Structures are given as C-alpha cells and as structure tokens.
Amino acid sequence: MKKIIAANWKMNKNSQEAAQTVQELSAILNNTLPEKREVIIFPSFISLEASIHAAPENTVLQFGAQDVYPAKDGAYTGEVSPSMILDAGASWVLTGHSERRHIIKEDNAFVGQKTSFALASGLNVVACVGETLEEREAGRLYDVLSEQLNQTLAKLPTPLSPERLVVAYEPVWAIGTGKTAGSEDIIEAHAIIRELLKDIIGTSVFQTRILYGGSVKPENAAEILKLENVDGLLVGGASLKADSFAKIICA
Ligand code: PEP
C-alpha cells in the first residue's frame, strides 16, 4: 500500500505562486519520487486549475479541493460542487478539517453529508478528525474520535473501493502550532481510529489509509512515517515550499 503525502495549502498562494510551486516540486520529484508514495496537493479553489495546468503531462501529482458543498448545483452562494471540482481536473477533497470545524463551525453531521455526497459524486475523500487539547485533557480522545468518525462516515456509498477514502488524524493542538504529537500519542490515536473503522466499514479497513497531520516537518517526517498504522502525512505549513515538501515526500 502506497503512503500518501498530502499538502494542504490552506488560504495561501495566488494562482501564479501555486503554479510555480507545482513546477518546482515536479522538477525535484521528476526522478526521485519513491515508488511507495502518492502525492496529493490541495490548493485553494481559485488556484486549483492553475496548479493542475502547471503540472507536467505525466505528473505523479494528484490534486484536490479543500472543501466541497454537498449538493449537485443550485442556490448556494459562494459554494462549490463536486462536479465543479472534478471539472477543474481534481480528484480529491478534504472534509472535516479542524479549521473548518472550529472557525467556520461545521458540525459532524455536515461533515458527514459532505463526505458521502463527495464520494457518491466520484471524488476521493480525505476526511479529517482530531481532538482539541481540552478534549484530550478531559480524557475524551476515544469519544471524540468515535463521534467524528461515526457521523462523518455514516452514509458511505456502497460499494466503495478502499483507496477512495482516507482518514487523517490531526490533533487540533498540533496544527500550525509547531507542537507535533508524540509517537505514543500518534500510535494510540491511529489504533483507536483503525478499531473504530473496523465497525464502520468492515473488512476492508486494513486497506484504508490513515494519515497523521500536525506540524510535520522534514526533520520529523521519517520518524512519524515509521509508526504503526501511519499510512501517510497531511502537511500544512511545511508543504508551502517545494524543497521542504519534497524532503517530506522522500523521507
Ligand atoms: C493542516 O492544516 O492540515 C496541518 C497539518 O497544518 P500544519 O502542518 O501547519 O500543522
């Protein structure tokens, strides 16, 4: 199973900057992409097409949107549908990122609607879960992950090939803070997620990739990638520069 290394560019880079980073990354990865890696870039909506067009013809890069609205079309001002994302040439979408949960106030039910609609519409999904520091300190890690996963994955389309759904564990207290979760924290949370997924999606659970995200850097990527049940990384800040992201991909 290939490990996924994904870049979440958040609200950074205009089209020109995004295209330039894709070109730089492509030039570095040209002959050096390890066989056991898949790479996904999540630019902003506005720079998605420019990013895709900047990639060489036989690119190893895959692309995705950072959000999606769970409807085919209609009166949803400011929103973007799965078919628009597919039409732009992207094949992935992020759902449930903690910044959308906490800043935009998306709840588990809405994240679940987005996840199932996106999958049913043909997009592959990286569904994000993770606890706040307050929840962790209150001993609620298992309950929070259980609530998030059960609602996010409540109505998965069937059949669903396992490579189309990826789960990202991103402890909120480690995102953009410079604080990486310790190895034991990551192992514990990923084991809980694997166990919960067993009940939700059944036997194909061992083919479902679980990514870790939260202050991943070139210096800690290799160590995290070796941990049990870590099937890849979701990277924010350290994915903005091609050379730093390439080091993480090749870690
Ligand atoms: C993220 O936003 O998904 C993320 C993991 O950010 P950072 O790597 O900057 O902590």
217 CA distance to ligand 1 centroid (A)?
A: 10
C-beta of 128 in contact with ligand 1 (< 6 A): no
Ligand 1 atom having least distance to the Cα of 175? 10
pLDDT of residue 34: 78
Q: Ligand 1, atom 3: nearest CA belongs to which residue? A: 236
pLDDT of residue 203: 67
The one catalytic residue among 49, 99, 106, 170? 170
State yes or no: is 190 an active-site residue. Answer: no
The one catalytic residue among 38, 97, 106, 131? 97
The 3-state secondary structure of the chain, one letter per residue = CCEEEEEECCCCCCHHHHHHHHHHHHHHHCCCCCCCEEEEEECCHHHHHHHHHHCCCCCCEEEEECCCCCCCCCCCCCCCCHHHHHHCCCCEEEECCHHHHHCCCCCHHHHHHHHHHHHHCCCEEEEEECCCHHHHHCCCHHHHHHHHHHHHCCCCCCCCCHHHEEEEECCHHHCCCCCCCCHHHHHHHHHHHHHHHHHHHHHHHHHCCEEEECCCCCCCHHHHHCCCCCCEEEECHHHCCHHHHHHHHCC
pLDDT of residue 72: 97
State yes or no: is 97 an active-site residue. Answer: yes
pLDDT in tens, the chain (251 residues): 899 999 999 999 999 999 999 999 999 997 778 788 999 999 999 999 999 999 998 899 999 999 999 999 999 999 999 999 999 999 999 999 999 999 999 999 999 999 999 999 999 999 999 999 999 999 999 999 999 999 999 999 988 999 999 999 999 998 888 887 899 999 999 999 999 999 998 867 778 999 999 999 999 999 999 999 999 999 999 999 999 999 999 99
pLDDT of residue 5: 98
